[in-house]
Structure 1
Amino acid sequence: MKFNGSKQYNDFGSFLKSHFVEPVQKISIDIGFTCPNRDGSKGTGGCTYCNNNSFNPDYCKPKKSITEQLNEGTAFFSRKRKNQKYLAYFQAYTNTYSDIESLKKLYLEALSHPKVLGLVIGTRPDCISTQLIDFLSELCKSYFISLEFGIESTLNSTLEVVNRCHTFEDTQNAYNIAKNKGLHLGGHLIIGLPGESKENILNHAKTLSKLPINSLKLHHLQIVKHTMMAFQYKNYPELFNLFNVEDYVDIIGEFLSLLRSDIIIERFISESPADLLIAPKWGGLKNFEIVAKIDKSLKEKNLWQGKYCLY
């Protein structure tokens, strides 16, 4: 199988180069939203693994306006590349969890920035509407619009354990509402949530391949401070089977071989700050070093994305 780049899979960097004329960088935006499993609408406490401080950059603070955050973000990234453009990434918590008029105002403010080419909107599959999808579909005529759903698992039993307060059927419904509307549809999956076997994880790849999904983010389960999962890990460590580097590299290879070949792989790894990370600790290995190990393993084992996919 031949992909756009030199990888054994459909990598996100190659997608960006083929889709945009200029170099493109995401800039995270925090607009102070919450989630329905935090505010009591569906539950309280949020997802058991969630601490948004583990991925929010310093410039990304809800007390600042969208324009201020974009200005600071573009100033930061332009130190390396003067002429690049940006995607405004609404990242923290659930970024469609508001009334439609408020959402329109926020998204349009981001798109009014002269260096912004589009939006990436992270959300839950139970927090969209046909009205919102219709609005975003209109934006697609002029901008790149990506809608990224937190899938996390295809098993309802797992979703219940981590307090997601939605089902995989909600995920399927969300993709069906949003498909064929001009949107780039992304997804996020955590590998190794409590109670999931190797067979369960590999079945995620088969199940996701049936969805109208364009890109996928993967990362291993990390236990970070100030979360319910940190409490569980301390008191009930037998509930967890955290990956070491070698086992994670191996399962990613098998996962990819079962995944539909046209799905863009946006990432394999998420690195929590060292001062927040409890486990697993992989000896200070950086994201690019883990990706290099995955690339090497795929070639050595003669595996590629979609090799054993039936869809």
Structure 2
Amino acid sequence: MYANSPPAHFNERRYFAWNDWVKRTHGGRIQKVSLDAGFTCPNRDGKLGRGGCSFCNNAAFTPSYLAGTRELHAQLATGIAFMQHRYTGTTRYLAYFQAYSNTYADLAELKALYAQALSHPGISGLAIGTRPDCLPDAVLDHLAELARDHMIELEIGIESCDDNVLAECRRGHDFACSVDAIERAASRGLQITAHMLFGLPGETRASVQTGARKLGALPLAAIKFHQLQIVRGTRLAMEWKRQPGSIALLSLDEYLDWIVDTLEYLPDSVRVQRLGSDVPPTQRVLPERGDRQLDLPAQLSARLSARGTWQGRLHGASS
């Protein structure tokens, strides 16, 4: 039997918002303080390729306060001060290893960097962004060890569940790689957040719906949704320059429908952390005007209501 009404813990949103879970579980706001620890990526350093995925330019989502220093405590101090001014009521801060693949180094180096971040008096845990092909068992074992005493969130870039789409954007791994990494991490008790990027060339609403069923079977704690934007300095930007109009971006209505299609198949326990990406206008080729991220929660709830559905309504459906 599938649910016949939204669960009470959705707080009338029709989906499980991460912020609602944080307030209920931790008694206040948690903010992630972004770090650039100098990592690279196997899709950039030559192990898998050069130039990165077709859509990727880290400068498009790296906060401006990270400029000027690689010293972690200095970045954290600046970031916490920024967050305290912008988000009052924050009770906990996580050091967010965000730029590039933040498990892609020798274990000894990773241990030292994570320990340095956790030694900052304002930090109570880590959020670590990475690729599924950069998660050897030894790294997962160490993260599980840290999770005994700290809040540890592992953010894994899946981007798409369609192998053809992943190949087209030169991702360098397939969906099976993501499944393997998620299952190995979850078996150690780690909290996993999946990143999905909607609108990549070759992705369709049908492929997203097929992928949603696969996502619903994975042991995820949370999910982040991002809409494709064409960012300066990427292969997609070069393709667009050679042939304007060659890449069709999703409209807002299409994007919301793809999110709804996915949420229907996710368990109602999966927290929704993000509904979209913010790319500075100076870094963005298209769209010329970005969607307001602050409007997306209300827009998504309205779309869920209009379709008479909610997160988890079809979880467990086989067709």
Q: Give per-residue Cα distances to partners, 1:167-221, cap 9 Å, x unaligned.
A: 1111111112111323111110101110111101121211111111111111111
1:1-311 residue pairs with structure 2 within 5 A?
Answer: 1-4=6-9, 5-61=11-67, 63-80=69-86, 81=88, 84-237=91-244, 239-282=246-289, 285-310=291-316
Task: Say whether the 8 Å CA contact 2:31–2:90 is kept in structure 1.
Answer: no
**CA shift at 1:138, angstroms?**
1.1
Q: In structure 2, the residue corresponding to 1:255 is in which secondary structure?
A: helix
The separation in 1 between residues aligned to 2:161 and 2:35, in whole angstroms, is 28
Q: In structure 1, the residue corresponding to 2:224 is in which secondary structure?
A: strand
Q: Give per-residue Cα distances to partners, 1:67-93, cap 9 Å, x unaligned.
A: 110001111112243763200100010
The separation in 2 between residues aligned to 1:239 and 1:199, in whole angstroms, is 21
CA RMSD of aligned residues (A): 1.7
TM-score by length of 2: 0.92
Question: Percent identical across equivalent pairs?
Answer: 37
The separation in 1 between residues aligned to 2:140 and 2:155, in whole angstroms, is 13
User: Which contiguous aligned blocks of 4+ residues in structure 1 show a shift greater than 3 angstroms?
Assistant: 236-239
Task: State the number of aligned residues.
Answer: 310
Which range is displaced more, 248-257 or 186-195?
248-257
Q: Give per-residue Cα distances to partners, 1:245-271, cap 9 Å, x unaligned.
A: 122223322222222322111111112
The answer for unaligned runs of 5 or more in structure 1 is: none
The separation in 1 between residues aligned to 2:261 and 2:41, in whole angstroms, is 33
The separation in 1 between residues aligned to 2:160 and 2:257, in whole angstroms, is 19
**CA shift at 1:39, angstroms?**
0.4
**CA shift at 1:239, angstroms?**
4.6
Q: In structure 2, the residue corresponding to 1:116 is in which secondary structure?
A: coil
**CA shift at 1:16, angstroms?**
1.2
TM-score by length of 1: 0.94
**CA shift at 1:241, angstroms?**
2.4
The answer for unaligned runs of 5 or more in structure 2 is: 1-5
The separation in 2 between residues aligned to 1:62 and 1:109, in whole angstroms, is 19
Which range is displaced more, 208-217 or 78-87?
78-87
The separation in 1 between residues aligned to 2:260 and 2:173, in whole angstroms, is 29
Partner amino acid for 1:110?
A: A
The separation in 2 between residues aligned to 1:111 and 1:308, in whole angstroms, is 40
**CA shift at 1:22, angstroms?**
4.0
